[in-house]
Structure 1
């Protein structure tokens, strides 16, 4: 077997392994381009022609099929455990004070660090609604404001 064919097959294998480990849908097109170049290398000894085939096949596949493949492989949003508390009620256990940077809320038996949605101070003992989760903080709105 010709060294050039072996080279292109090697490139195809390497790109296949890279794609298998990354799943980024980039390396697979280089893998296909290398296979096409290997096929051409069996008939055409010119490295220039082989390289042009490699670049052309890879480029065409990247441009025309990658967007389609990305759409087909689009993953659904998977909510986290924290997302389940959004919209639920909580009780302020430590005054939420944006100036002091303090605030705790008890939500479903768990204590969360909290911030108010509108940067307002919310006193201890106030019932709040959880609006969203921002990092490790529950962003809340006073039930009295609603």
Structure 2
């Protein structure tokens, strides 16, 4: 279990499960060759097929949004004049104040309502509504 934490991709777990399955023929008194074949086949099946199912279910498909990217399309209120020449400006979105800018050269005054169009690092790019 500890090794699985430091190795990405669910690899070590399949060896453990294959060993448990291979213990069945050992318990039944099967020859070593049967035990090794059971281990190898089980490991192959688990690694190729079951691992794919696990990774597909646990991998983010890009559908979840971070808090910042979920702001795109939201309304905001300008709390500090947005001046593209001075590269200053702030907006309030959902009770949070963010640095803001515009894609164009327009200045947007305080108390104007704007729409968040994009994210540029930690700065929101906005446009007048």
State the TM-score bracket (shorter-chain normalisation).
Answer: 0.5 to 0.7
Indicate the larger mover: 71-80 or 84-93. Answer: 71-80
CA RMSD, Structure 1 to Structure 2 (Å): 3.9
Deviation of 1:110 after TM superposition, in Å, equals 3.5
| Corresponding residue number in structure 2 for 1:128 | 114
Runs of 4+ in 1 over 6 A off after TM superposition: 20-23
Structure whose residues are more often helix by fraction: 1
**Superposed counterparts of 1:41-120, under 5 Å:** 41=26, 43-45=30-32, 50=36, 52-72=37-57, 77=64, 80=67, 83=70, 86-91=73-78, 93-97=80-84, 100-116=86-102, 119-120=103-104
Partners of 2:31 and 2:55 lie apart in 1 by 34
Name stretches of at least 5 consecutive residues in structure 1 with no aligned partner: 1-15
Deviation of 1:79 after TM superposition, in Å, equals 5.6
Partners of 2:55 and 2:98 lie apart in 1 by 37
| Corresponding residue number in structure 2 for 1:12 | none
TM-score (norm 1): 0.56
* Counterparts in 2 of 1:100 and 1:55: CA distance versus 1, 3 Å: farther
| Corresponding residue number in structure 2 for 1:5 | none
Name stretches of at least 5 consecutive residues in structure 2 with no aligned partner: none
TM-score (norm 2): 0.61
Tell me the number of residue pairs that the alignment of Structure 1 and Structure 2 aligns.
123
